[in-house]
Amino acid sequence: MKKMLALMMMMSLMTVSCSKSGGGSSQESAPLSTSTPSIEDGTTSPDSVITPAETSSLPAQALSFKTNVDMLDFTASQEEKYNEAVDIVKKVVATEAFRTKILNHTWSGLKQFADNGGKTNAQIYQSVLDAAESLNKIKNNTMDLGVKMYYASTTVIGWTNPSITYINVNTKYFDQFDPNEVAGNLFHEWLHKLGYGHDSSVTAKRPYSVPYAVGYMIRDLGKNFL
Ligand SMILES: [Zn+2]
């Protein structure tokens, strides 16, 4: 028994000394401070050396997000406005704010979207970055879409259906919209191409569906890029 106790004490002593020599804070920062003499006189704290400058958790896919938008039956001025909207989409997707808004979106008291197809907020964000449209299913990090102009004196801003690769945009609204509003509508319709849906009539939960909620995010954050 005595031998055991002595052994255990020795082992615990060894453990202590081991962690001290290996994990001492002065030892740890030494390799970093050797190349920066200013640390010696205290003008630069070790923290400022270690802390990376303005790092973000934004995935690389958010910054590399591309668009492949085919404009059909556009006039030159319509094309100019639409190009501005497409540019706004790319700029908003590349922001930390867009990521944060999707990850923190709440509906019915929980961090979720309505009609989310069983996906978590993080999975929805990833699906946007993957950009695998239901009709082509390739995760190419690219919004692939056709856009057609039409005019109708209805309250429909735009529409699409699952069997076509393009969206239809009503010039009645397009003509009045600012580019960030066009961007929001474009994104809404494109989210249908990723397979997201919403109630067809006005309901309490419809604004919390993926196409509506994320479309509004693009529109609102897009104001910063007008
Ligand atoms: Zn819709």
pLDDT per residue over 65-107, tens digit each?
Answer: 999 999 998 999 999 999 999 999 999 999 999 999 999 999 9
pLDDT value, residue 108: 97
Q: Is residue 136 part of a domain?
A: yes
pLDDT value, residue 44: 44
What is the Å distance from ligand 1's center to 138 Cα?
22
What is the Å distance from ligand 1's center to 22 Cα?
59
Same domain, 133 and 90: yes
Write down the pTM of the prediction: 0.75
Domain boundary among 36, 55, 74: 55
Q: Is residue 14 part of a domain?
A: no
* Residue ranges in the chain modelled with pLDDT below 70: 1-56
Q: Is residue 5 part of a domain?
A: no
What is the Å distance from ligand 1's center to 39 Cα?
58
Same domain, 177 and 103: yes
Which of helix, strand or coil describes residue 209?
strand
What is the Å distance from ligand 1's center to 71 Cα?
19
Q: Mind giving me the DSSP string for 59-81? A: -HHHHH-EEEEEEES--HHHHHH
CATH number of the domain bearing residue 154: 3.40.390
What is the Å distance from ligand 1's center to 5 Cα?
73
Domain boundary among 55, 71, 97: 55
CB 180 within 8 A of CB 225: yes
Same domain, 128 and 47: no
What is the Å distance from ligand 1's center to 214 Cα?
11
Same domain, 192 and 206: yes
Same domain, 111 and 174: yes
* Burial class (CB within 10 angstroms; exposed 0-12, middle 13-18, buried 19+) of 184: buried
What is the Å distance from ligand 1's center to 168 Cα?
11
Same domain, 110 and 35: no
What is the Å distance from ligand 1's center to 187 Cα?
10
Same domain, 90 and 75: yes
Q: Is residue 3 part of a domain?
A: no
What is the domain extent for residue 36?
26-55
What is the Å distance from ligand 1's center to 200 Cα?
8
pLDDT value, residue 23: 35
CB 114 within 8 A of CB 209: yes
Domain count across the chain: 2
Instruction: Say how many C-beta atoms besides its own lie within 10 A of residue 8's C-beta.
Output: 10
pLDDT value, residue 28: 36
Same domain, 68 and 118: yes
Per-residue pLDDT tens digits for 43-57 = 444 444 444 445 668
pLDDT value, residue 54: 57
Same domain, 32 and 101: no
